[in-house]
Amino acid sequence: MVNLLLIAIIFLVAIFLVFKFIKKRQNEQVEEQIQVDDKTYTLELMTAFIKKRLDEITKINLYDIGLSEEELKRRKQKKYELKQALKGCTYGDINDKKYVKELIFDLLSREYGVDETNISKAIPFDIPSLLTPQDKFDIIIYMYKNEFAYEAMSELINKYKLDELKYVSGEAKPCYVITSEEIEQIYEKENFTLTFTDKLNVLVQRIYQHYKGYSCIDEIRDMNIDGISGGVSGLPESFLSQVAQSDGDYLEQIVDHKVPRACDSIWIMFHGKSIRLAFLSFGTEAELKRVCQNIYKYNNPGQLSDTNGYKINEMKDGSRVVVVRPSMSETWAFFVRKFDVKRATLEQIIRFPGKDEAIDLLKYLVKGARIISLTGEQGCRKNNNAYGNDRKYIRNYELTYYRNCI
């Protein structure tokens, strides 16, 4: 009898300890208490927190925390959705990008403790003189996107005539470029009034683009423009390192004249014009390399390696992407071409004098089922009416497109 009583007591104690352990695991905070100080609210620490937190959410073992069957199914579904979103946003999927950014927004506001008093420690929203050109551009494009959606970049360029030829210091000929001075002037003219939600959304975008996005071109790539490329001009890091070893004086001259590096090279294609974004930079060759390694990955086209130094693929939105790397090229570089089929018209594509006769000729060629060859240099708008690499599809689409124009 005594033995049975002892066994019952031990059994009850064991049940109590197990119950207490499960309860503790349920209420346990995954992240340790953050030591709050001025340095806590920096972009680097916030990005590190988001990386660690999302990694914990996707790797947590749900079977160890004693959830009910219904709660377990719900948490497993949310975990699966997050994993898919983190994978899909690197392919250029807009919906997955929104999902991840909303989660980052919640983590920063609820867990990290970002509020109106400390958000300006990461980006000095309240002191415009301390904002970098990239900070100002991020704010401008965010506010324009709220009003114009994915036409924001086009509206900005058209409103301030940023696609016109201009002279810049150090250049003998006019060129298409958007400078830091122009961005600063636009920011002053717009004189935005930002709410806390606006500031936090700008901060979330900055963290996202360095975590899962395409660095400083992340928002621009989503816009309705003809294309964007990076690393296609400027001096490669390998050249600068060789110069530093052989001729330090020449390297100083390069630095004094502010000769752009390959990681400073960002160009957009807008209405057939190649415009350099002089106010943006990837910062380092490592960041440019990260973007190049991620931007072509949709549908697993294979590994970009030293043996196979280039990849041609398409992104989830139908954009065509070409990526090259050393030793095939001097530096890491990518070209993204977007094809805005919905807005393409013959009158928009053909603009030279006598275009009416050329359009009539094309119509009769299509009626006669003649083979049409569209040729020309890069940027002359010969591809506005097609997309992808499938030539058979392109020709069929051209015939359908021109018949619809008749």
**Dist. CA 121–CA 40, nearest whole Å:** 9
Model pLDDT, residue 207: 96
- Whether 297 and 384 map to the same domain: the answer is no
118-175 confidence digits (pLDDT tens):
999 999 999 999 999 999 999 999 999 999 999 999 999 999 999 999 988 777 789 9
The residue among 88, 112, 136 that closes a domain is 112
Contact 337, 383 (CB under 8 A): yes
DSSP strand pairing (177-178 vs 273-277): parallel
103 and 130 both lie in a single domain: no
The segments of the chain whose pLDDT lies below 70 read 1-3, 17-39, 238-258, 340-344, 348-349, 378-406
SS3 assignment, position 48 = helix
Q: Would 117 be classed as within a structural domain?
A: no
- Give the total number of structural domains in the chain: 3
328 shares its domain with 281 = yes
Where does a domain end: 69, 87, 112?
112
End residue of a domain, out of 81, 112, 143? 112
Helix, strand, or coil here: 356?
helix
Please check whether residues 255 and 163 belong to one and the same domain: yes
Q: CA–CA separation, 64 vs 25, rounded Å?
A: 8
User: What is the domain range of residue 387?
Assistant: 346-405
Residue 120 lies in a domain: no
3-state class of 156 per DSSP?
A: helix
What span, in angstroms and rounded, lies between the C-alpha atoms of 162 and 183? 10
In Å, how far are 29, 40, 62, 135 from 26, measured between CA atoms? 8, 27, 10, 40
* Position 119 in a domain: no
Neighbour count for residue 25 (Cβ, 10 Å): 11
Tell me the C-alpha distance between 162 and 182, whole Å: 8
| pLDDT tens digits, 351-371 | 777 788 888 888 888 888 888
> Could you tell me if residue 286 is inside a domain?
yes
**pLDDT computed for residue 332 by the predictor:** 94
